[in-house]
Amino acid sequence: MGGGIFIIVAITWLWSRYRAMRDNLYAHLPGLVFGITPQGKIEFASDLGLKWLGIDEKAGNSHHRIQDVLSANKDLADLRERALRRDGQIVEAEIAVFTVAEQRRWLRIQCRTMPPHTPDSMIECIAWDITELVRERTLRTESEQRLEQMANLSSEGLFLHDAGKCVDANIAAERMFGHSRDELLLMSAVDIIAESSLQMVIDNIQSGYDKPYEATARRKDGTLFPCEINGRNVVIDGVKLRLTSFRDISERKIAEDLVRYQATHDALTDLPNRYLFVDRLEYAIKLAKRRKERFALMYVDLDGFKQLNDMHGHVIGDKVLVEVAQRLRHSLREVDTVARIGGDEFTVILPGTETLEDAEIVARKVLQSLTSSPINISSQKQTYEASASIGIALYPEHADNFDDMISVADKAMYQAKKSGKDQFRFAAPVTSQT
């Protein structure tokens, strides 16, 4: 009998000492430690961490207060059920709890069953307060969501890529290139950049170039379009990536081309104007000089145009000029340049014209195109019999520079006009012009 009592006392003493050691260990852990009985009650808890829940650790009923805070938590009950099914393996969850002051806090809780692993096992748990972590994570998520919304609202195609290999893209990129996001994620620069621009784009990616530049991109259907690209290296989660924006500048290019065209072409006849004529004549001289070739310049002036304007007005005069421009254009080759340099004066550059005979053939063709049929100038079937006087200068026989070519061709034109109009005359060599 005495031996049995001794054993009971010994076991009780050992269990008390074990619990004291356990509680002392738990007290120094960086978290809240507690146990859940098979009935779902809180059996014990470490002192450290009680303040997270607003519980006075010196109060004698701290465990009961934890019971009030935790035992009714559905997420904790679900975690307990998971632990019971895992036979001693650790399960984890993040759950929200409300302190005794009704403040919401987040805990990360790990649980496992104590041996023997049966449906009525004790559950041992440890929890860490992660309220600040969750708050920062929420703010970051909200920030990322705002950035994503802003990116998707942007009209620019945005790509996040690793050395040209797509990592992410926004909705505008899908619209711009005609590919779905899933398709874009399988692509790299070679799939969306035209071959003519590919090497430049790759060089800029590799060098980290961060200034806007223009390139040609390719849509899913194969069509090419001009774009402005702006890339910048970024570090996301410790990984160096590149964020690149694509702006479709097709409309801007069309506008630029229109402005450029209007600056170099006559608004009335749509022929090259004096500015473009000067540029092409200078180029023709340089090319002929380098290749040791000839070309001809024709100076064309309409006959009797001033009288037409005085009699019928500028509206009729403009109508005649438009028709004359069309006839001149149709009588020449595509490589030739016909320009309106003012009023009723036109010039024609004939590259590859080697002889006077070649130039004469073209001059006769031009005169014939003007006189082939009268031009209707009114609804009353009034007509204008168009004709012109033409002066011709051949490079380098008649002149070998810009000013002299213009001068001798102009003088030859006046000689043709004095000879009775509807005529052409060749220039005299500039060396004999005294």
- Give the lowest-confidence range in 20-34, 241-255, 359-373: 20-34
- Assess if residue 10 is contained within a domain: no
- Assess if residue 68 is contained within a domain: yes
C-alpha radius of gyration, the chain, whole number: 46
Residues 272 and 245 in one domain: no
Residue 331 token pair:
């009588």
pLDDT grade, residue 432 (50/70/90)? very low
Q: What percent of the chain has pLDDT over 70?
A: 81
Number of separate domains in the chain:
3
User: Looking at residue 433, what is its pLDDT?
Assistant: 44
User: Looking at residue 434, what is its pLDDT?
Assistant: 40
Which residues face 247 on adjacent strands? 228
- Assess if residue 139 is contained within a domain: no
Report whether pLDDT(99) > 80. Answer: no
**Bridge pairing between strands 424-426 and 388-395:** parallel
Please state, in angstroms and rounded to a whole number, the distance separating the CA atoms of residues 258 and 95.
64
Taking residues 52-59, report their average pLDDT: 63
Taking residues 166-187, report their average pLDDT: 90
Question: CATH code at 360?
Answer: 3.30.70.270
Nearest to 389 by CA among 370, 372, 373: 370
Which residues face 388 on adjacent strands? 302
- Assess if residue 387 is contained within a domain: yes
Question: CATH code at 165?
Answer: 3.30.450.20
Q: Which segments of 87-223 are extended strands (E)?
A: 91-98, 104-113, 123-129, 157-162, 165-169, 213-218
Taking residues 83-101, report their average pLDDT: 85
Report whether pLDDT(58) > 60. Answer: no
Residues 129 and 230 in one domain: no
Highest mean pLDDT among 69-78, 291-300, 425-434: 291-300
Among 249, 276, 309, identify where a domain stops: 249
Highest mean pLDDT among 49-58, 63-72, 283-292: 283-292
Q: Which residue has the tokens 């001798």?
A: 408
3-state secondary structure 275-305: HHHHHHHHHHHHHHHHHCCCEEEEEEEECCH
Residues 43 and 184 in one domain: no
Taking residues 341-360, report their average pLDDT: 93
Residues 245 and 367 in one domain: no
Residues 73 and 162 in one domain: no
Residues 316 and 388 in one domain: yes
Please state, in angstroms and rounded to a whole number, the distance separating the CA atoms of residues 408 and 415.
11
Please state, in angstroms and rounded to a whole number, the distance separating the CA atoms of residues 249 and 296.
40
Which residues constitute the domain of residue 49?
A: 31-134
What residue spans of 71-188 are helical by DSSP H?
Answer: 74-85, 131-153, 171-177, 181-184
pTM of the model: 0.59
Residue 30 token pair:
């960086």
Q: Per residue in 207-231, pLDDT tens?
A: 999 999 999 999 999 999 999 999 9
User: Looking at residue 309, what is its pLDDT?
Assistant: 85
Residues 159 and 234 in one domain: yes
- Assess if residue 260 is contained within a domain: no
- Assess if residue 86 is contained within a domain: yes
- Assess if residue 117 is contained within a domain: yes
3 state SS of 38: coil
Of the two residues 256 and 2, the one the predictor is more confident about is 256
Report whether pLDDT(15) > 60. Answer: no
Residues 419 and 277 in one domain: yes
Residues 108 and 230 in one domain: no
- Give the lowest-confidence range in 62-71, 157-166, 283-292: 62-71
Residues 234 and 275 in one domain: no
Q: Per residue in 113-140, pLDDT tens?
A: 888 878 788 888 888 888 888 888 877 7
User: Looking at residue 225, what is its pLDDT?
Assistant: 96
Taking residues 229-245, report their average pLDDT: 88
Among 200, 216, 249, identify where a domain stops: 249
pLDDT grade, residue 392 (50/70/90)? very high
User: Looking at residue 33, what is its pLDDT?
Assistant: 80
- Assess if residue 18 is contained within a domain: no
Residues 301 and 232 in one domain: no
Q: Phi/psi of residue 153, each to 5°? A: -80, -15
Residues 6+ apart with CB under 8 A from 383: 374, 375, 376, 377
Give the chain's mean pLDDT: 84
Residues 190 and 336 in one domain: no
